Structures are given as structure tokens and as C-alpha cells.
Structure 1
Amino acid sequence: MNKTLVILCGGDSSRMGTKKALLPFEDKTMVEYIYDKFSPFFDKVYLSVNERGDLAHLGLNAQEIPDISRNAGPFGAILSCLTMISGDRAFFMSVDTPFLDPRTAVLLYEQSYNYDITTFNFAGDQLDSICGVYNKRCIGSLFKCIFFKNTTRNYLQDRCYTNIISTDEIASVSKISMEQQFYKVNDRRSYYYAVFSILKHNFVC
């Protein structure tokens, strides 16, 4: 089974004040860090960007897909990518979730075959709400969400054949806590926490 990954790198980054994908992280940019971490587990990688060429200078072996609409948020980016990817589905993750475990992505992908969306339940303001496997079968529902300006997670999932993976099952393949895996770098404070966590981990190792 060929696995496809989409890293969502667009958005305005208004709270951060600069493009998150290009933030320094370890000895590279954040998008390079995630690409290097996840690409061994996937056969094809795409980068969702605001404009084609935004990240071309990094030389990653990944095709860029520009957003159809800058005003539709993450669901607009997912819709843009689903219309362009070569396969029938892809695992989508945000570029600002650097602690996500690739084994979690593989778990969701392996259980996504018969579903429009495969994701998980969680709680917490800092946790990512987009991560999951989306099939091209949910393109119509995404169009409706955007058209009716109701781009909430529940609104979309209620209109798609959705597979919810339990957090216990995710814990069985990854020792990284859910809170850490889906911690989202939203602003400078959360970015500095993420950088410090990586430095601390590398020092201990």
C-alpha cells in the first residue's frame, strides 16, 4: 500500500508573526525537520502552501500544492490537496506539530481504507484538530463545509464515513503522550517551549 503524506504549511501565521514552516528547529527549518522525520514512512510527500514556490528553495523531494482559497482555512488546504494528489487518500498533518510520532500516522493510515476520514478524539486547546487521513470521497463534503461557512471538525465528520481511533490504540504504538504528540506551535511562547524540549531531549540522549 502506497502511503501519501501532506504537510500543511500554509496559513497566515498571524500569531507567530512569521512563516512557521521556516522557523529554525534543531539544525534545520521546521518543515525540513518534519519531512526528514516522516518521509521514511511514506512513499509520496506533498507540501500544502499558500503560493507555489513558497518552499521550493529548500530542495525537498516533495511536490507543492497551492491553496485554492486563502480564506477557507485548513479545510480549504485539504480540499486543494485532495483534488491534486495522485492517490485516493493522504495523511494530513500541520507543520506546527513537530512532536507527532510517525508510527501514529502509519496506524491511522493502515485503518483508513474503507473510510472517508480516519482520525481520533481528544481534548485541549493546544492539540491539533486537523490531523488524520482524508479520502477523496470527502471532497464533496468539504466543498459544502466551505460553501456554507461551517468549517468545524464535527460538521465535516458528521457528513463523512468517519473512523475514530481510540487514544488507547495510539498509545499502544507510541510511547509519546497524546498531549505531546499533538502539541501545536501557535505562537512565540509555544515555539520556544518546543525548541527547548528538543534541546533537552538531545542533551539527555
Structure 2
Amino acid sequence: MQNLLGVILCGGESKRMGTDKGLIQQDGKTWAQIVANKIPALGLPVVISINDRQVEDYGRIFSSDHLVVDNVDINGPLRGLLTVHQSFPQSDILLLACDLIDMDTDTIQNLISVAKADENYEFYVYENHGLAEPFCAIYTSKGLKSVYDKALQHGLTQNSFQSVLANGKTKRIVLNNPDPFRNYNTMPGHHKF
């Protein structure tokens, strides 16, 4: 966990929301900025994972050296994570989705503490009612190298985070408070959990 990098995942298609979630404004900041601003308080560098259609919009908000544009040839949100891994192969990644605007630093810090206390796993994730919460999780460089190599050889049976976590050596942490994990697929006030 010496090379932990914060990554805000913004490259999704936001089909259910109908608009780019990371660009939604709240209190004068975009959701991507709100989530990204949680990382420096933990003493970590941060990058923003986007797709090629988002470069112009996100370039107005973040400096270009903080943007990592998808270029791994797989579909789905795993594409963003593996692209960041390709760009920073020595880094372990603390991944946060851009719509986790209710995430708190205590929840993130607990995740980091668990990972530092037991470095024998590839992935560290909270579990809520038997399902992993993949969008506030730590993915080690070792674990990502294995997934990336499989992706390059078209050896991934599914391009999903749940599949990666189920097939890797994953430390699951019981989630006592699900509130920070609210993700918004409709506008706030009309959200689905």
C-alpha cells in the first residue's frame, strides 16, 4: 500500500441517469470534483478515469495530467480501471465511483487500514448483503496485473467487477453502514438504491 493511487471512475455511460453523472453540479462543484476532493485529505494522489468522449468537458474541470482516458480494448467499467493500471502499473488503486457523493473519509480510511494490516490479498472490498461494493475498493497492482493479462488474451469470462472480485483473492469487509454507498442512478431526491 506504499503506492496507493486514488482513482475516480467517471467513464461510465450513465444510461439510467441520462446524463454524465460526474458533471452533475451540486453546491457549485461537479460530482467528480466532490468525490475527488475526498482523496487528498488521505494523503493520496488522485486521477480521473474518463472515456474519449469526455476529454473536453473534464478538461475544463481538471488539469490534463490528472485525466486518464480509456484505451484498454474491453467493454464495461472495468475498462477504466485497467487503463489506469496500464498507466500506473506499480500502483495499488483506491477506486471510487463519481456518484458516491455521500462517501465519507472514515469509510475510506477503514478500507485502507484493513488493506495495510493484511497485505495477503489482491482486492479489498466492502460487502453489503452478500454483494461486493466494487466502487469503493482497493485493487492491488499484483491483482490487476493478473486481470489485465487475462483481458489482453481475451481470457476474462466476464468483464464485470463482481466477476473479478469473485475470482480473485478478495478480502471482504462487512459493511455496517450502507449510507456512504448510496449511488445515484436518477437525480438526488429520486434515487434508487
Q: Sort the TM-score into its range (normalised by shorter chain).
A: 0.7 to 0.9
Q: Secondary structure at the match of 1:130?
A: strand
Q: Alpha-carbon deviations, 1:138-168, whole Å to 9, x = none?
A: 2222553683341344431243221112224
Name the residue aligned to 1:165.
Answer: 173
Q: CA deviation at 1:27?
A: 2.1
Name the residue aligned to 1:141.
Answer: 147
Q: Is 1:8–1:95's contact at 8 Å kept on the other side of the alignment?
A: yes
Stretches of structure 1 lacking an aligned partner (at least 5 in a row): 169-176, 195-205
Select the structure that is richer in strand: 2
Q: Is 2:5–2:44's contact at 8 Å kept on the other side of the alignment?
A: yes
Query: Using the alignment, how far apart are the partners of 1:141 and 1:77 within structure 2?
Result: 13
Query: Using the alignment, how far apart are the partners of 1:70 and 1:86 within structure 2?
Result: 17
Amino acid of the residue matched to residue 109 of structure 1?
A: I
Query: Using the alignment, how far apart are the partners of 2:130 and 2:115 within structure 1?
Result: 24
Paired residues for 1:74-113 under 5 Å: 74-85=77-88, 87-113=90-116
Change in 2 beyond 3 A, CA 1:159/1:59:
closer
Change in 2 beyond 3 A, CA 1:90/1:129:
closer
Q: CA deviation at 1:90?
A: 1.4
Q: 1:117 and 2:129 equivalent?
A: no
How many percent of aligned residue pairs carry the same amino acid? 21
Query: Using the alignment, how far apart are the partners of 1:44 and 1:86 within structure 2?
Result: 15
Query: Using the alignment, how far apart are the partners of 1:63 and 1:163 within structure 2?
Result: 29
Q: 1:183 and 2:182 equivalent?
A: yes
The counterpart of 2:163, out of the listed 155, 161, 175, is 155
Stretches of structure 2 lacking an aligned partner (at least 5 in a row): none
Change in 2 beyond 3 A, CA 1:15/1:50:
same
Q: CA deviation at 1:106?
A: 1.9
Q: Secondary structure at the match of 1:37?
A: coil
